[in-house]
């Protein structure tokens, strides 16, 4: 069975009050429509078409996915018209699934259930029972309980309005039949739109049995119309992720104060304190502990790593049992070996720091290669930039860099060298020697503090 998916994403999203098209607003760090594209792929869809309109090319450009079919619907003439625009892209598909770009939480098992409901017929609808069905199209069933048609809220009489089973908008249909039904739609209704929902009555008239399925969780079919609903779905999504992680053995000190915008792969007995934000692809080894108010973005942390409070780590590899923070910043292209200590107010950028080295206080280490067991004192700066180019600092194993020193790159401190505190090092500091640059200390004899005139 060849499955095609049509994602409707042409609507304006007026209530978002945004210059950004609605479907590009992020949920857990990914555009709303990105979630729908991802679930389509997970279903093994042969072809995925996105119908876009409002916001013009902004949507295809932001998603930037070559394998999608982008179908422009210049004027939003209704859901039926929107799907019809995408039908050329669905040629040869046995089944066509219609999804909405602003209904991001729809889950794979629910869609599999819907597709299974259509296995021996040509149309299946995803419906849901709502205590307050206001605004939705109602599922009208015949005396035998079979769906007969869908009536939109604005076209409904009191009897239909009392129906609590509503149309989620998500459906699956036989590809060829769907194309034929869409060709027969008209817009003679209260909104003057081509309603996708009118295909239900057509299917029934053609003798097609219409089946229905329901979502595992009714929140899967909630749409985003404004930023309040967006925040609501974000919380729901985060809560699900937090629960999944906790069931997999991760301790979250407070699951309500945890955000994952990407993917987290965590080992055993990982502990995450409050207000931690995880973005991109993050891997945490066994027994990793993350302190409060920390951001981890595209990082891999080895077993036993401790990140204390208030750190920001991005695109870095941290060796096992290293200790970071509090208040440390690890910037992209940094690799720390095992048992490295990076302390408070230290920034490390694009550097390799080997096993057992310590940079504990108020330092900047950039474009550097630091050997094993190096001790970098408080306030050491690698001066890597001359205003035009960046240069490398190399520090050999067992070197000791005294506090408040500047290493003016390109420069090398050889293995076992000691740099006296307060030095400005511009040339190679030889191995196992003390190198320092320091003006002589003097004391003025008989000097007195000035006194105030009168």
Selected binder of ligand UD1 within 49, 96, 166, 182 (CB under 6 A): 166
264 sits near ligand UD1 (criterion: CB under 6 A):
no
Q: How far is the CB of 194 from ligand UD1 (least distance, A)?
A: 8
167 sits near ligand UD1 (criterion: CB under 6 A):
yes
Q: Which run of H or E residues covers position 141?
A: strand 138-141
Total residues contacting ligand UD1 (rule CB under 6 A)?
27
Q: How far is the CB of 342 from ligand UD1 (least distance, A)?
A: 47
Letters for 202-231 (x = contact with ligand UD1 by CB under 6 A, - = none) are ---------------------x--------
User: What single-letter DSSP state applies at residue 89?
Assistant: G
For helices 108-117 and 32-42, give the axis angle rounded to 10 degrees: 50
- Give Dmax (Cα) for the chain: 113
Q: How far is CA 138 from CA 25, 36, 428, in A?
A: 29, 24, 80
Q: Coil, strand or helix: which one is 70?
A: strand
Selected binder of ligand UD1 within 4, 11, 55, 371 (CB under 6 A): 11
Kindly give the pairing relationship between strand 424-425 and strand 406-408: parallel
Contact 79, 182 (CB under 8 A): no
Letters for 55-94 (x = contact with ligand UD1 by CB under 6 A, - = none) are ------------------x--xxxx-xx------------
Selected binder of ligand UD1 within 21, 31, 34, 137 (CB under 6 A): 137
Selected binder of ligand UD1 within 197, 368, 394, 406 (CB under 6 A): 197
139 sits near ligand UD1 (criterion: CB under 6 A):
no
Q: How far is the CB of 196 from ligand UD1 (least distance, A)?
A: 4
Contact 50, 35 (CB under 8 A): no
Place of tokens 């597709």: 115
Q: How far is the CB of 136 from ligand UD1 (least distance, A)?
A: 4
Q: Give the integer Cα–Cα distance in Å for 86 and 166.
A: 25
* Whether residue 194 has a cis bond before it, omega within 30° of 0: no
Contacting residues toward ligand UD1, per CB under 6 A? 8-11, 51, 73, 76-79, 81-82, 100-102, 136-137, 150, 152, 166-169, 195-197, 223
């Amino acid at each position: 069975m060849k499955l095609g998916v049509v994602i409707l994403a042409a609507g304006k999203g007026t209530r978002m009050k945004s210059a950004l098209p609605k479907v590009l607003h992020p949920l857990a760090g990914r555009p709303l429509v990105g979630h729908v594209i991802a679930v389509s792929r997970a279903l093994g869809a042969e072809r995925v078409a996105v119908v876009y309109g409002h916001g013009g090319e902004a949507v295809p450009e932001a998603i930037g996915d070559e394998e999608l079919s982008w179908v422009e619907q210049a004027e939003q003439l209704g859901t039926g018209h929107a799907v019809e625009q995408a039908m050329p892209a669905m040629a040869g598909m046995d089944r066509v699934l219609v999804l909405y770009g602003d209904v991001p939480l729809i889950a794979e098992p629910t869609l599999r259930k819907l597709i299974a409901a259509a296995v021996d017929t040509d149309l299946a609808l995803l419906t849901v029972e709502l205590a307050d069905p206001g605004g939705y199209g109602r599922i009208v069933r015949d005396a035998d309980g079979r769906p007969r048609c869908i009536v939109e809220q604005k076209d409904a009489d009191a009897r239909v309005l009392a129906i609590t089973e509503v149309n989620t908008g998500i459906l699956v249909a036989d590809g060829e039949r769907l194309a034929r039904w869409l060709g027969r739609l008209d817009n003679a209704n209260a909104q003057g739109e081509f309603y996708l929902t009118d295909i239900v009555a057509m299917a029934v008239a053609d003798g097609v049995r219409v089946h229905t399925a329901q979502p595992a969780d009714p929140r899967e079919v909630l749409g985003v119309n404004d930023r309040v609903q967006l925040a609501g779905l974000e919380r729901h999504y985060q809560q699900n992720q937090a629960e999944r992680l906790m069931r997999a053995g991760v301790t979250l000190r407070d699951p309500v104060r945890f955000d994952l915008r990407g993917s987290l792969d965590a080992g055993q007995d990982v502990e995450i304190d409050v207000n931690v934000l995880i973005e991109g692809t993050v891997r945490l080894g066994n027994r990793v502990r993350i302190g409060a108010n920390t951001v981890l973005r595209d990082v891999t942390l080895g077993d036993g790593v401790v990140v204390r409070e208030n750190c920001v780590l991005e695109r870095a590899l941290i060796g096992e049992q290293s200790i970071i923070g509090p208040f440390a910043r690890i910037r992209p292209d940094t690799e720390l070996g095992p048992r490295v200590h990076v302390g408070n107010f230290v920034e490390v950028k694009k550097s390799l720091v080997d096993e057992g080295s310590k940079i504990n206080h108020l330092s900047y280490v950039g474009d550097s290669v630091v050997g094993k067991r190096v001790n970098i004192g408080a306030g050491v700066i690698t001066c890597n930039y001359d205003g035009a180019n960046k240069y490398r600092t190399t520090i050999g194993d067992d070197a000791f860099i005294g506090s408040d020193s500047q290493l003016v790159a390109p420069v090398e401190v050889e293995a076992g060298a000691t740099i006296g505190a307060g030095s400005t090092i511009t040339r190679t500091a030889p191995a196992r020697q003390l190198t320092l640059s320091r003006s002589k200390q003097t004391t003025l004899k008989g000097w007195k503090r000035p006194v105030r005139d009168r």
